[in-house]
Amino acid sequence: MIDFRKYSINIGGRLVELAKPQVMGILNVTPDSFYSASRCGEDRDIIRQRVRQIVDEGADMIDVGGYSSRAGADDVSAEEEYRRLRIGLEIIAEEAPDMIISVDTFRASVAERCVEECGAHIINDISGGDMDKDMFLTVARLHVPYILMHMRGTPATMTQLTEYENVTADVIKDLAFKADRLRRLGVCDIIVDPGFGFSKNVEQNYEMMRHLHEFVEMGYPVLVGISRKSMIYKLLGTKPEAALNGTTVLNTFALMQGAHILRVHDVKAAVEAVKIVSATNGNEF
């Protein structure tokens, strides 16, 4: 178990301390996300209920997604993605006006509208800038924190792009190169995400998890997103619906290696993991 590194990020002009591990609840305003129970679609009552659940269970942040990144998911236009996101963002503003909001999008135009028109605070880009050449400049102009995730190709092609010389070293190299580009553009608040499940096979995901402390050593807050993913349910021979216990085990392991943000479907379980690991480590958050 390693010591937790504290960071601060600028959220809408105020300095927010990441003085303890954060839990980011997932809000999918999509009809086709890989975990069927997480799909809210555009039903405002269901979205509102989900937002209230995330808040009541103790999340520190909400990550809103309007475009499913699962392999084989339907493509949607930028306008459709934004329309979905706007519904979710409006309801969060009504139900949890003080919540930190992250928007899960790889499109610079969608990111810009979500920040400027809807008050989103963080951009979470699964492609690490590769799917929209304007993303880095847009983030720099918006002055918002940016979650830099590693992925190769697109959601449609990523499962074919899993050849690495050393998966941990290769992913860190790519993230470090892009983080340097972002800093040169003036982006101060960078959060790195190894991209579990994206262009990595099951074995490679566990290889990265064993070496998660090396991502922490990069000097940026580290987000871990493994909630109910195939690295869990394929290993256990089950389905996403039965992967909560495995998710909690892996989130606990990630926390023990210094993870800063857990992106999860099941907020209550993650919050409890943070409390237990923190107590075990002698911290009182």
**Sign of the CA dihedral with 94 first, then 96, 98, and 104 last:** negative
Distance CA 107, CA 244 (A): 30
Distance CA 17, CA 39 (A): 31
Distance CA 105, CA 102 (A): 9
Read off the tokens for 56: 């009541």
**Per-residue DSSP letters for 165-233?**
SSHHHHHHHHHHHHHHHHHHHT---EEEE--TTSS--HHHHHHHHHTHHHHHTTSS-BEE--TT-HHHH
Backbone angles phi, psi at 239, to 5 degrees: -135, 165
Catalytic residue, candidates 229, 234, 239, 275: 229
Catalytic residue, candidates 86, 113, 228, 263: 263
Backbone angles phi, psi at 69, to 5 degrees: -100, 10
Q: Is there a catalytic annotation at residue 229?
A: yes
Active site residues: 229, 263
